[in-house]
Chains A and B, each alone.
Chain A
Amino acid sequence: MRPLDENETTVVFEKIFKFVGNNLKNIVENPSHEGPEQDPGRYCFRLHKNRVYYVSESLVKRATNISRKSLVSLGTCIGKYTHAGGFHLTIMSLSVLAANAKHKVWLKPTSEMSFLYGNHVLKGGLGRITDSIVPGDGVVVFSMSDVPLGFGVAAKSTQDCRKLDPNGIVVLHQADIGEYLRDEDEL
C-alpha cells in the first residue's frame, strides 16, 4: 500500500471531477469520523494492488503493519487501474460520488430494473434530470426515492434530451449496484 504519486493522483482526481465538480474539495478534505481516536484526521487515497482506496488516515496508520499479501481492502475502494494503465471508477465508489454529485438523473420505477441489469438509460425511463449537463459529464443515477443506483456518462446535454425520442440513450451506463450480484468476482 502506498500513497498515489503525481500522475496517478491526477488521473483519479480528473475522473472524480467529472462527477462531482467542485465538490472534489469536499471529498478530499472531509473530516473523517473513523478510527478510534477522538480526532481521526482526514481522508486520503492509497494505492494497493492496483486498486485505489479512500480511507481515513487513522485506518491507514493501523494498516501499515499488515503485509501486502494479506491486506485485502481498507475503507472504501473507489476504483482500479486496468492492465493498460487506465483508471476506472467502480461501483463501490457510489456512496462517495452520490453524496457529492453535481449531475444527477432520476429514473422512473419501471426502468430501474433495466438499468440495474446493465442497460443504458433511455429517454423513456427518465424521471428528472438536472440542468446544465454537457455530453461527457459524469452522471449519478438515482431512483425516484433518491436511492443511488449507479453512475454513467451523459450522452446528450439536457437540452437535447428534451428533443430526443423515447428510445434515445441519455446516459451511458458505467456501473450500477446490480453488479454486486452479477459481477461479484470482478469487484
Chain B
Amino acid sequence: MAAGALTRNKKKGAKSQTPPLSKRTKSNITPPPKKAAKSHKPPLKKQRKVISEEKPEVSTDEEEKEEEEVSEQSDELGSDFFSDGDGEEKEEDDDSEEEDKEPLADDFLDGSEDEEGTLGSDSDSDGSDLEKESKAIDEERKREERDAKDELQMNIKEQPDEFRLPTKKELEEEASGPPDLPTLQTRIKEIVRVLSNFKDLRPEGVKRKEFVEQLKADLASYYGYNEFLIGTLVEMFPPVELMELIEAFEKQRPTSIRTNTLKTRRRDLADVLLNRGVNLDPLSKWSKVGLVVYDSQVPIGATPEYLAGFYMLQSASSFLPVMALAPRENERVVDMAAAPGGKTTYVASLMKNTGIIYANEMKVPRLKSLTANLHRMGVTNTIVCNFDGRELPKVFGQNSVDRVLLDAPCSGTGVISKDESVKTSKSANDIRKVSDLQKQLILAAIDLVDAESKTGGYIVYSTCSIMIPENEAVIDYALKKRDVKLVPCGLDFGQAGFTRYRENRFHPSLDKTRRFYPHVHNMDGFFVAKLKKMSNETKASGNELVETKEQAQLSSDDDDDSIEELKKPSGASGKPKQDIKVDKSKRRIPISEPNYKGNENKNASVEGPRKQKKKRSQWKAEIAQAREDKRKVMRKNTKESGRR
C-alpha cells in the first residue's frame, strides 16, 4: 500500500500503513511527494468507513479530504487538519483515536445524507449487522485500494509530465511561433532540477544527453545565446551553477571607481563625492583604492573630481592584474595593450610616477583615450607608442624590462553583462583565432622581460574571458615554450584555474592561476596568471622557428642543425626543455652562455638528443657530428675568452 499522502506535495503522510496506529509518527506522515493510497487502519474502521463512504462525494469535511486526495482545493485544509489530527493521534492509542475521530465522524454523518447505512453505530449493531458491516467494510477497503492505486498511477503519471521532454511535434509547434518565454523558463528550471539529481529524478529510458540538448536549446532561445557559446558554458559548469552564471550575466555588475593615489586619498575622495550626492562604499577588503558606486545624483563620469583626475571609472576585475603585477618604484614596466589606460594609470600610481612605463596600444583610435587618461590622471612617467604587441621585443630589445602586463585581447565572454553582442557573435573560429594571437603575444611579453632583473622578471597575463582555450591553454603553451614558471598571483580569493579540462591536460602548476566569475565574486569574468621568467633562454621547438637572440647569433649551419634536431617530443608536459636545452646549449655559440643557469657542462648528454631523432637519416647525423666537433673546439676557445 502506498503511504497515504493526502496531497501531492504536502508533508502530511497518510495515516500510516502500519497496523499499530500508535506507531504512526510525524515521520510517517511526511512522505515523499507521492500520493499514497489510503491507508488502512483496521482499528479505525469507523473512520475509514466514514471516509470511504464520503470519498465518492465531494464533501467539505476536512478529514475526508485528507484521506481522499482527490479534491485538490482542500489539500491545504486537509493537511493542516490532518496534522492536528496526527498530533493528537500520535499520543493516543487506537481506541482513543477512534474516539477522536468519531466526533468528526459524527459531523460527517450529520453533514451528509448519502452515507451508506452503517455509520458510527458499530457498537450498537447486532450480529447480522456486524456481518453486513464487515462485508461492507471489506468492499469499501477493496474499493479504496483500487482507487488509491489508480490515483497513485495517475499522480505518478502527472509528475513525469513536469520533466518529460517535449516531443518532436511539440518542438515543431514551438518553433513555428515566437518562443513562449514562461514555458521555456519552467522547462529550463525543470531540466536543471532533473539534471542536478539525475540518478534519482530521471524518468525511464531517457538519456542524459537528451536533457542536456534540450536545455541548451531552451537556454539559447530564452537568453539569446548562440549554440557554440551555450554549448561551451554547459560543458564548463554543472547545471545549477550554469543557471547562476547565466543569470549573473544578465545583470550589470556594480559601477566601481579607483582613487588616483597620485592626487588624493580614498577617504578624501569619498568625502567629496558624498557631498556631491554620490552613494558609495569601499569596494572590498582586498583593495585600498576601490570604491563602489551604488547610485549618484550627478553623472559619475563627469564630476569636476573626475575631470581633475582624482579617480578613474574602472571595473573591479581590472584592479586584479595590476595588483598581481605589484610594480615597484623605479622599475621599467611595459603594458602591452594599454588602452583606455585604466590599468596603466594604476600601475603608474603604484610606482608613484617613478621609473618608466611603456604603454603600447595597437589600435589607433584608442590611442587618444589612452593619452587623455594618462594626462588627466597626472601620469608623467609614461611613453605611449603604437605597435603591434608582437613586435615589441624587436623595438625595445629582448630582456630589457622588469615587468610586463599583458591584458590580452580576448573574446570578451566574461563581460557579457557589459556587451550582449558577445552572446551571439562568437564562434569556435573566433576563439581559435584570438587564442593564437594571445599565444604570440605572451611569447613576446616573455621575451621582453629580463630574467636577471633585480626586482622583477614577472609577466602578468590576464583576460576578461572565461574560455579555457584563451586562458589555461595559453599559459600552458607559454610554459612549454619558454623558461617560465607560474607563481601565486597574490589574489587569494579567486577560484583556481583548471589543470585539466575534458581532453586537455595542463601543467599542474596551473592551479596557481586565478579565475573570477560574476556569480561567485560579483565582478566580471576574469582570468589572471603571474609568470616568473627563470632564465633568458628559450626552448625552440621543431614546429616553430623561434628567433631568439641566441639563435640569431648562430651561424646558418647551426641554425639548420638546431631546427632539425630539436624536434620536440610532443605530449611531454613541460619536460622536453631539458633535452632541448641541452641541445641548444651544445649548439649555441657560447656568447649566450652567461645567460644559462647551469646547463653548461652537459657534454655527456649530447648523445641523448641525437638518439631521440628517430627521423634523422644517417648522413644528416654524420654531418651533425662533424659540426658538433667543430663547435666544441670553438666553444673551448671562446670559453677561455668569455670567462676572463
Contact = CB atoms under 8 A, between A and B. Distances in A.
Of B376, B381, B382, most A-chain CB atoms within 10 Å: B381
Interface stretch (A3-11, A62-70, A122-130, A152-160): A62-70
B372 A177 contact: no
Contacts of B282: none
A50 interface: no
Contacts of A24: none
B356 A59 contact: yes
Nearest to A66: B385
B304 A73 contact: no
A35 B367 contact: no
A180 B304 contact: no
A35 B356 contact: yes
Interface string B296-330: 00000110110111100000000000000000001
Contact of A147 (B304, B380, B396): B304
B356 A181 contact: no
B369 A184 contact: yes
Contact of B330 (A38, A59, A65): A38
Nearest to B304: A112
Contact of A187 (B332, B372, B385): B372
B371 interface: yes
A91 to B, nearest CB: 8
Contact of B381 (A59, A143, A147): A59
B155 interface: no
Given A73-B374, A75-B382, A181-B302, A36 B332 contact: yes
A33 B382 contact: no
Interface residues of A, number: 41
B355 A34 contact: yes
A66 B392 CA distance: 10
Given A36-B332, A66-B383, A116-B304, A180 B356 contact: no
Contacts of A113: 304
A74 B382 CA distance: 6
Contacts of B431: none
Contacts of A112: 304
B354 interface: yes
Main DSSP-derived SS at the A contact region = mixed
Interface in A103-119: 112-113, 116
Contacts of A174: none
B383 A63 contact: yes
Interface in A122-171: 143, 145, 147-149
Given A70-B385, A72-B367, A184-B368, A147 B305 contact: yes
Contact of B380 (A34, A91, A148): A34
A184 B339 CA distance: 14
Interface string A81-113: 000000000011001000000000000000011
A35 B355 contact: yes
A71 interface: yes
A186 to B, nearest CB: 9
A149 B353 CA distance: 22
B356 A36 contact: yes
A37 B325 CA distance: 20
Contact of B307 (A38, A59, A62, A177): A177
Nearest to B354: A33
Contacts of B136: none
A95 B307 CA distance: 12
Given A35-B355, A92-B375, A66 B369 contact: no
B133 interface: no
A33 B395 CA distance: 25
A4 to B, nearest CB: 19
Nearest to B308: A147
Interface in B622-642: none
Contacts of B331: 36
B421 interface: no
A91 B355 CA distance: 24
Interface string A48-59: 000000011011
A178 interface: yes
A73 to B, nearest CB: 4
B355 A70 contact: no
A35 B375 CA distance: 17
Nearest to B332: A36
A23 B27 CA distance: 89
Contacts of B302: 181
A62 B358 CA distance: 10
Contacts of A181: 301-302, 307
B356 A72 contact: no
B386 A70 contact: yes
Given A34-B356, A113-B304, 15 more contacts: A35-B356, A37-B330, A59-B383, A70-B386, A71-B383, A71-B384, A72-B385, A73-B371, A73-B374, A74-B384, A75-B382, A147-B308, A177-B304, A177-B376, A178-B307
24 contacts: A34-B354, A34-B355, A35-B355, A37-B330, A55-B380, A59-B383, A63-B383, A65-B397, A69-B386, A70-B395, A72-B367, A72-B370, A73-B371, A73-B382, A73-B383, A74-B383, A75-B381, A92-B375, A147-B304, A147-B310, A148-B308, A149-B308, A177-B308, A184-B369
Closest 9 CB pairs of A and B: A177-B307, A34-B381, A73-B384, A92-B375, A72-B384, A70-B386, A74-B383, A73-B371, A147-B308
Interface of B: 272, 301-302, 304-305, 307-310, 330-332, 353-356, 361, 367-372, 374-376, 378, 380-387, 395-397, 402
